[in-house]
């Protein structure tokens, strides 16, 4: 293992057993050599519909066009006092931070904020569960993204034992009403679930584990999470089923190819808002193989 990783105090892990293509495989994330069975399925894992990544030249061209539209959108928000809030959820290494970065890259940072909260303090644990998130909601003219949100209680907390079954059940019951209030108050509200295949996640974890530049992204929680893929899947499906609604639908983005995923998210936001000067030709059409709505799209 790279010596640069020692300071992060992540203990060596035991090789884990996985089933890939119907065959039981062993994966040792501490081995710097990535197994061929993972390499062969990085893009196609989980039934991803495209056989090749979007070419860099095409991606760069479309990205610039969409970022220009996002600048127009921000001007419209300032002129009208409208508010946008977008939540980004997904398994670890799904590409949430990268998508958020590209969305905000050329927007005015004073009015385009990202929220990535640490674990709650003692005071926050004693408050109404949603309270610490509300403090970061957008005001007039703002575009706010959340890199994880109150939906921690929908997946991470119940899987890792950080909340009780009663707290989890109450969250699933209360959240649709909570989000109805957000939308009714006039906020343009988006919920994105970035979905990746298992081999895709293993490859991204392996990259982090052995990169001197990205090793800080890999944590003991990731090690535990690798073993709980099926538990996360069950909680994800239950969460989406119970909190997908007409007023606050879940937008599912298949994200094995980060480039396509980022463009899909931007297009969905831009096509959903009536901002001045919207150029639909520049935005382009959605890729229905990559983006959809609700649990049916995942299945």
What does the pLDDT average to over 123-151? 98
The answer on pLDDT for 8 being more than 70 is: no
Gyration radius of the chain over CA positions: 20
Inter-CA distances, 58 with 54, 101, 123, Å: 7, 19, 48
7: confidence class by pLDDT, cuts 50, 70, 90: very low
Q: What is the model's pLDDT at position 4?
A: 44
Q: What is the model's pLDDT at position 21?
A: 75
Q: Residue 13 in contact with residue 170, Cβ under 8 Å?
A: no
Q: What is the model's pLDDT at position 12?
A: 62
CA torsion 106-107-113-119 (nearest 10°) is -20
What does the pLDDT average to over 14-42? 89
What does the pLDDT average to over 121-142? 97
Per-residue model confidence as pLDDT tens digits over 69-116: 999 999 999 999 999 999 999 999 999 999 999 999 999 999 999 999
The answer on pLDDT for 190 being more than 60 is: yes
Q: Which of 106, 110, 49 is nearest to 264 (CA)?
A: 49
How much of the chain is in helix, strand and coil states, percent to nearest 5?
Answer: 50, 15, 35
pTM of the model: 0.94
Mean of the per-residue pLDDT values of the chain: 94
CATH superfamily of 3-298: P-loop containing nucleotide triphosphate hydrolases (3.40.50.300)
| 3-state class (DSSP) for residue 83 | strand
19: confidence class by pLDDT, cuts 50, 70, 90: confident
Neighbours of 288 (CB within 10 A): 10
Q: What percent of the chain has pLDDT over 70?
A: 96
Domain boundaries, the chain: 3-298
What does the pLDDT average to over 244-256? 98
CA angle 262, 266, 269 (to 5 degrees): 145
The answer on pLDDT for 285 being more than 90 is: yes
Distance CA 269, CA 3 (A): 42
The answer on pLDDT for 262 being more than 90 is: yes
């Amino acid at each position: 293992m790279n010596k640069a990783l020692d300071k992060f105090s992540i203990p060596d892990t035991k090789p884990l057993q996985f089933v890939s293509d119907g065959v039981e495989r062993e994966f040792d994330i501490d081995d710097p050599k990535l197994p061929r069975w993972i390499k062969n399925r990085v893009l196609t894992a989980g039934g991803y519909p495209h056989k090749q990544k979007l070419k860099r030249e095409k991606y760069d061209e479309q990205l610039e066009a969409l970022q220009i539209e996002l600048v127009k959108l921000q001007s419209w928000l300032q002129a009208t006092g409208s508010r946008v809030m977008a939540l980004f959820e997904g398994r670890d290494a799904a590409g949430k931070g990268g998508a958020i970065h590209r969305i905000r890259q050329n927007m005015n940072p004073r009015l385009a904020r990202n929220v990535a909260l640490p674990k709650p303090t003692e005071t926050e644990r004693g408050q109404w569960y949603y309270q610490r998130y509300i403090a970061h909601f957008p005001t007039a003219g703002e575009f706010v993204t959340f890199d994880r949100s109150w939906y921690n209680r929908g997946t991470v907390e119940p899987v890792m034992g950080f909340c009780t079954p009663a707290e989890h059940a109450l969250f699933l019951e209360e959240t649709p009403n909570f989000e109805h209030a957000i939308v009714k108050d006039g906020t343009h509200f988006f919920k994105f679930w970035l979905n990746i295949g298992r081999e895709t996640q293993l490859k991204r974890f392996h990259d982090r584990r052995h990169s001197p530049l990205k090793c800080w992204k890999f944590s003991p929680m990731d090690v535990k999470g690798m073993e709980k893929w099926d538990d996360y899947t069950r909680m994800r499906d239950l969460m989406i089923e119970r909190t997908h609604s007409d007023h606050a639908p879940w937008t599912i983005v298949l994200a094995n190819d980060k480039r396509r995923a980022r463009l899909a998210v931007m297009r969905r936001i831009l096509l959903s808002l009536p901002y001045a000067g919207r150029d639909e030709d520049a935005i382009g059409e959605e890729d229905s193989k990559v983006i959809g709505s609700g649990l049916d799209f995942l299945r």
